[in-house]
Structure 1
Amino acid sequence: MTRRGVIAAVLGSAVAGHIVLGVVAGGAALTAIRAYAAPPAEPVFPAPARPVSPIVSPRWSTERARNDAGEARTVIAALAPLNGRTVADIGAGEGYYEPPLAHAVGRKGHVIAEDIDAATVTRLARRVRPLANVAARLGRPDDAALAPASVDVVLMVHMYHEIGEPYALLWRLRRSLRVGGRIAIVDADRPSGEHGTPPQLLACELGAIGYARTSSRPLGDGVYLAIFEPRALPDTIRVCR
């Protein structure tokens, strides 16, 4: 082999080595990227095989009772740090969580307060008007209408059991999450027809759309907080029973 041929062979091997190393080193990163990539074409979404609680009121209880329970403080602390982040409060009702969330995300952060009832959103918009970093938004039962890769935390408080199309909603929420994004759900540990969601049923329904539960903690009085992150999408959506 000529001297030029030897040099070419050595350089070729070196380049190939870098390519192989790059592929190996990038494997974990590619796995993470796939988890947050935009979902492929939407499937036909099945209906849940469980009772769906009716929406009784946009208020959970009196705000004084909620303050005394300290739930919002505990939940927001569990999601910290939120400064500079974007939080979407799905089913925000009349906006109890919005003032503390606005404070937690700070001037550089944003809070999207979403609800599916137009009259409720009108009242919600009125309440959050003084909060420069909070915007009220009307969504649909199957789509919160969030922009792609726009949200760091999706929060659902005492409303998951009222979602009539959970698989469609959860699928579409995936595309709104930024890398590292989370879904945080607060609900009561009781049957879904009685205004609650058993933790295992919740984990099953989110798992059917490729979310993994990363943490869970009791909040008192049978209420719990569960946090999920997206993983690989499943080949099929299996209805939980």
Structure 2
Amino acid sequence: MPNRRPLGLALALVLLSSCGEAQEAAPVAPLGPAGLAASRFPAPVRPVAPVVSDRWEAEDARERVGEAERVLGWLGVAPGQSVADIGAGSGYYTVRLAQRVGPGGRVLAQDVVPRYLARLRERVAGLPNVLVGLGEPGDPRLPAASTDVAILVHMYHEIEQPYALLANLVPALRPGARVGIVDVDDATPRHGTPRALLACELAAVGYREVAFHWLLERAPRSEYLAVFEAPAAPPVPESVRPCTP
């Protein structure tokens, strides 16, 4: 698919400039305008896991099981596409996406933790097809019609306002876009999201599950990739009904 850059993205190019110490780095700007106010959406009726690290597991361990290769293959990520890495953290997927989409593609790497983004910005400084931006707990702050594939890896259970974030993601998605969520089939306090709960929460915002893959089955915590298609438009916030665990 050809790379189509919406107007207003030039500002985001400054996000790849050099920075000082991670804790003192200059602020990172959002990639796109604000969406619907998160306060208009219901809060999730289940615990939200705390953000404790920008890494899920050591990268060499993830490579040994072929995690990224399998996930990106199942999602059909291809050269020339624009992919949003939501909750990019340390950049495990960001750098691999940059290689996979190639010079004609683009990676929008987003997170809500500024210190994670400062370290990520240093890591991707030599990758011209990566843009780094600051999101909000209920809004990824991505440009409109910018994304062919969005991935959320081992962070859905940490989203404070999932219904708002999912609704505000819709305008960023191009027709036929896919949203892939990687998580563990476990309770949110244990840094997972039960498969049925995930499907319910996305359905509440109008998403439809189109594929499901077990990524790594190991008792008692099995990892999965769930793939969704978004609704044509975001729902009216007041119409969203939260799911119960």
Counterpart residue number, 2:62:
66
Instruction: Tell me, in whole angstroms, the C-alpha distance in 2 between the residues paired with 1:234 and 1:74.
Output: 32
2:164 paired residue among 162, 168, 171: 168
2:197 paired residue among 188, 196, 201: 201
Bigger Cα Rg: 1
Instruction: Tell me, in whole angstroms, the C-alpha distance in 2 between the residues paired with 1:53 and 1:132.
Output: 33
Counterpart residue number, 1:96:
92
Does residue 191 in structure 1 map to residue 194 in structure 2?
Answer: no
Query: Displaced runs of 4+ in structure 1, greater than 3 A?
Result: 40-43, 232-235
Q: Which runs of 5+ in 2 are unaligned?
A: 1-34
User: For 1:109-188, what aligned pairs fall within 5 Å after superposition?
Assistant: 109-188=105-184
User: For 1:48-63, what aligned pairs fall within 5 Å after superposition?
Assistant: 48-63=44-59
Does residue 45 in structure 1 map to residue 45 in structure 2?
Answer: no
Following TM superposition, by how much is the alpha carbon of 1:41 offset from its aligned partner in structure 2, in angstroms? Answer: 7.1
**Length-normalised TM-score, structure 2:** 0.79
Following TM superposition, by how much is the alpha carbon of 1:234 offset from its aligned partner in structure 2, in angstroms? Answer: 5.3
Instruction: Tell me, in whole angstroms, the C-alpha distance in 1 between the residues paired with 2:242 and 2:95.
Output: 36
The 3-state SS of whatever aligns with 2:229 is: strand
Following TM superposition, by how much is the alpha carbon of 1:128 offset from its aligned partner in structure 2, in angstroms? Answer: 0.6
The 3-state SS of whatever aligns with 2:202 is: helix
Following TM superposition, by how much is the alpha carbon of 1:50 offset from its aligned partner in structure 2, in angstroms? Answer: 0.5
Instruction: Tell me, in whole angstroms, the C-alpha distance in 1 between the residues paired with 2:182 and 2:62.
Output: 13
Following TM superposition, by how much is the alpha carbon of 1:87 offset from its aligned partner in structure 2, in angstroms? Answer: 0.4
Instruction: Tell me, in whole angstroms, the C-alpha distance in 2 between the residues paired with 1:153 and 1:190.
Output: 25
Deviations 1:115-144 (A, max 9, x none): 101111011000011111111111111111
Instruction: Tell me, in whole angstroms, the C-alpha distance in 2 between the residues paired with 1:95 and 1:228.
Output: 23
Q: Which amino acid aligns with 1:83?
A: P
Following TM superposition, by how much is the alpha carbon of 1:81 offset from its aligned partner in structure 2, in angstroms? Answer: 4.2
Q: Is the 8 A contact 2:75 2:178 kept in 1?
A: no
1:240 paired residue among 225, 230, 243: 243
Greater fraction helix:
1
Larger RCO, structure (CA 8 Å, separation 6 or more): 2
Q: Which amino acid aligns with 1:225?
A: L
Q: Which amino acid aligns with 1:156?
A: L
The total of aligned residue pairs comes to 202
Aligned-CA RMSD value: 1.6
Following TM superposition, by how much is the alpha carbon of 1:231 offset from its aligned partner in structure 2, in angstroms? Answer: 2.8
Instruction: Tell me, in whole angstroms, the C-alpha distance in 2 between the residues paired with 1:119 and 1:50.
Output: 27
The 3-state SS of whatever aligns with 1:97 is: helix
Aligned-pair identity in percent equals 49
Deviations 1:33-59 (A, max 9, x none): xxxxxxx97782000000111111101
